[in-house]
């Protein structure tokens, strides 16, 4: 084992955000150690990528491995209304004529393993099965971490920068009480996997489908084709509708919902469910700050946005790149202040807000992309740019004026609600309130094994 305990950068968490930032920094000359509490492979949700992840994959030097992977290729997204009427597919190549207009649908066990192995290959000291128990501070400055090693001993590691990529555990934003919850975006999720479900031929076979459930449910099904003829199918809906008062039998609830959604039902009627029912209660949230003295938050540890457009991994990747750039800048100026490390927050938040507005549009009563595009056909390219993940594009905001005629477009999260979670002074990971898990004892958050099985 590598016995070094002082590095340029410590990364906590080996999901897409952690592996990406660690890889980029190591390839660009920094010494990096990464701690992941699980031993991979491990289950995780978040399978449909957005095409703009391409540019981060390129910087990580992992594109060729993805091209060689068994992952299904994704060319488009398609929506169906509650009556089952389907939109024309939104092909990404309508707005982008580069190879990057095609991306992948990924089984996260394999994808996250590929990323963390790649990080190690690129020079990152990777420790799997090793949780960080606490971040060590000298006054307000983060100076290191205490990790629980495989033999059970606690060991201290030091670095100039600590990156929190712990996903929804959000170790540091919980510690500082920085987490702001989105007032409306609270959903319950049930999902599982099917073999032999319907697949369209050719390009459309790899599409992500968003199939709306009947009015009043506030919900939709995702339908994501994976390799080996497996399809990921999940329903996202208002908790009061989906789970409240419906008992413990999640498989029964899931089947009832499939039966109510014609466009989902006909696709899985001859398929076999090959996994248990997983459940999540998810809350969209963001941290008030993305950096402090000597530390940065990225990925879900910074913020989580409703999964309707599959933006989670894309935002994690973008944050990894922005954080890597600001860390290089901090070393150059020997300045690890929150201002320098968090210099990207304004740009980042603008991008997240663009996506958030489109999320709110989707959940607005009676909203449909087809109706919107009938009146404003010239906005199709802006919709596709958002579905691609091109959220930092100049001028992307011009869509929201026309869109506000059809949907509620919210002010920014910080303007809307200055409410913060309670401040915790304890950073011991085992005692951290998890933002989503804390909502209910019954439905837990997935990165702490949200794996609630149905009572079958």
263-282: which residues touch ligand FAD (CB under 6 A)? 280, 282
User: Residue length, the chain?
Assistant: 456
Q: Mark the segment that binds ligand FAD (CB under 6 A) among 78-86, 247-255, 310-318, 360-368.
A: 310-318
Of 94-102, 167-175, 394-402, 415-423, the segment contacting ligand FAD by CB under 6 A is 167-175
Q: What are the angstrom distances between the C-alpha of 359 and each of 53, 236, 285, 324, 352?
A: 19, 13, 13, 28, 10
Closest CA to 138 of 164, 165, 156: 156
Query: Among 189, 341, 359, 403, which residue sits at the site for ligand FAD (rule: CB under 6 A)?
Result: 189
Question: d(Cα 175, Cα 434) in Å, to the nearest integer?
Answer: 11
Site string for ligand FAD, 93-132 (x = CB under 6 A): --------------------------------------xx
Is the distance from CB of 382 to CB of 94 less than 8 angstroms?
A: no
The conformation of residue 328, written as its DSSP 8-state character, comes to H
| Smaller CB separation from ligand FAD, 38 or 421 | 38
Indicate which single residue of 9, 17, 237, 383 sits in contact with ligand FAD (rule: CB under 6 A). Answer: 17
Q: Which of 96, 174, 310, 368 binds ligand FAD (CB under 6 A)?
A: 310
Residue 122: DSSP 8-state? T
Residue closer to ligand FAD by CB (options 131, 144) is: 131
Query: Segment contacting ligand FAD (CB under 6 A): 193-201, 264-272, 304-312, 373-381?
Result: 304-312
* DSSP 3-state of 164: strand
Identify the residue among 7, 9, 26, 36 touching ligand FAD (CB under 6 A): 36
Integer Cα distance of 237 and 221 in angstroms: 9
DSSP conformation letters of 196-217: S----SGGGGG-EEEEEPPTTS
Report the nearest approach of ligand FAD to the CB of residue 36 (Å). Answer: 5
> Does 342 participate in binding ligand FAD (rule CB under 6 A)?
no
**Nearer Cβ to ligand FAD (349/447):** 447
- Position 142 contacts ligand FAD (CB under 6 A): no
| Residues contacting 280, CB < 8 A, separation 6+ | 45, 188, 189, 191, 436, 443, 444, 445, 446, 450
Among the listed residues 300, 321, 349, 353, the single contact to ligand FAD using CB under 6 A: 300
Complex with ligand FAD: residue 47 or 349, whichever CB lies closer: 47
Binding mask of the shown chain, residues 220 to 249, with x at each position contacting ligand FAD by CB under 6 A? ------------------------------
Residue 205: exposure state from Cβ atoms within 10 A (0-12, 13-18, ≥19):
middle
Indicate which single residue of 11, 14, 176, 443 sits in contact with ligand FAD (rule: CB under 6 A).
Answer: 14
Cβ count near 267 (within 10 Å): 22
Considering CB under 6 A, how many residues would be counted as binding ligand FAD? 38
Tell me the three state secondary structure of residue 37: coil
Distance CA 93, CA 179 (A): 37
At its nearest, how many Å lie between ligand FAD and the CB of residue 186? Answer: 12
For ligand FAD, the closer of residues 54 and 379 by Cβ is: 54
Shortest Cβ distance from residue 44 to ligand FAD (Å)? Answer: 6
Q: Using the rule CB under 6 A, which residue among 9, 10, 15, 267 binds ligand FAD?
A: 15
Query: How many helical (H) and strand (E) elements, i.e. helices and strands, does the chain have?
Result: 15, 19
Query: Which one-letter DSSP state was computed for residue 446?
Result: G
By CB under 6 A, tell whether 389 contacts ligand FAD.
no
Q: Residue 265: helix, strand or coil by DSSP?
A: helix
Cβ within 8 Å of residue 318, ≥6 positions away: 52, 56, 348, 351, 389, 391, 392
Site for ligand FAD in 206-225 (CB under 6 A): none
Q: Does 46 bind ligand FAD (CB under 6 A)?
A: yes
Nearer to ligand FAD by Cβ, of 209 and 403: the residue is 209
CA-derived radius of gyration, the chain: 21
Residues forming contacts to ligand FAD in the complex (CB under 6 A) are 12-18, 35-38, 44-49, 131-132, 165-167, 169, 171, 189, 280, 282, 299-301, 307, 310, 312-314, 316, 429, 447
């Amino acid at each position: 084992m590598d016995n070094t305990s002082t590095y340029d950068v410590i990364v906590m968490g080996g999901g897409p955000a952690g592996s990406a930032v660690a890889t980029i920094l190591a390839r660009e000359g920094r010494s990096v150690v990464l701690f992941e509490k699980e031993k991979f492979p491990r289950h995780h949700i978040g399978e449909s990528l957005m095409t703009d992840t391409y540019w981060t994959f390129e910087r990580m030097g992992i594109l060729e491995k993805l091209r060689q992977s068994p992952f299904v290729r994704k060319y488009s997204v398609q929506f169906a209304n509650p009556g089952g009427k389907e939109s024309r597919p939104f092909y990404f190549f309508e707005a982008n004529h580069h190879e990057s207009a095609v991306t992948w649908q990924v089984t996260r066990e394999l994808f996250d393993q590929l990323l963390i192995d790649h990080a190690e290959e690129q020079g990152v000291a990777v420790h799997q099965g090793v949780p960080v128990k606490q971040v060590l501070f000298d006054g307000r400055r983060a100076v290191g971490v205490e990790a629980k090693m495989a033999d059970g001993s606690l060991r201290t590691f030091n670095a100039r920068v600590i990156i929190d990529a712990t996903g929804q555990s959000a170790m540091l934003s919980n510690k500082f009480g920085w987490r702001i919850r989105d007032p409306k975006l609270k959903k319950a999720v049930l999902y599982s996997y099917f073999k032999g479900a319907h697949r369209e031929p050719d390009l459309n076979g790899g599409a992500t489908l968003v199939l709306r459930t009947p009015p009043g449910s506030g919900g939709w099904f995702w339908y994501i084709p994976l390799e080996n003829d497996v399809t990921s199918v999940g329903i996202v809906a208002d908790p009061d509708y989906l789970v409240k008062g419906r008992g413990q039998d999640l498989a029964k609830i899931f089947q009832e919902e499939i039966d109510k959604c014609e466009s989902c039902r006909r696709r899985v009627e001859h398929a076999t469910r090959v996994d248990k029912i997983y459940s999540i209660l998810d809350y969209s949230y963001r941290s008030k700050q993305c950096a402090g003295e000597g530390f940065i938050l990225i990925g879900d540890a910074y913020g989580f946005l409703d999964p309707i457009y599959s933006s989670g991994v894309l935002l994690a990747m973008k944050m990894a790149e922005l954080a890597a750039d600001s860390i290089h800048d901090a070393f150059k100026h020997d300045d690890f202040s929150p201002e320098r490390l968090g210099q990207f927050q304004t740009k980042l938040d603008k991008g997240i807000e663009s996506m958030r507005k489109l999320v709110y549009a989707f959940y607005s009563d009676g909203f449909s992309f087809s109706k919107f595009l009938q009146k404003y056909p010239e906005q199709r390219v802006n919709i596709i740019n958002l579905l691609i993940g091109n959220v930092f594009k100049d001028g992307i905001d011009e869509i929201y004026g026309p869109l506000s005629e059809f949907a509620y477009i919210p002010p920014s999260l910080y303007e809307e609600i200055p409410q913060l979670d309670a401040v915790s002074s304890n950073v011991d990971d085992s005692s951290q309130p998890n933002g989503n898990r804390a909502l209910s004892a019954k439905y837990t958050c997935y990165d702490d094994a949200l794996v609630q099985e149905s009572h079958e």
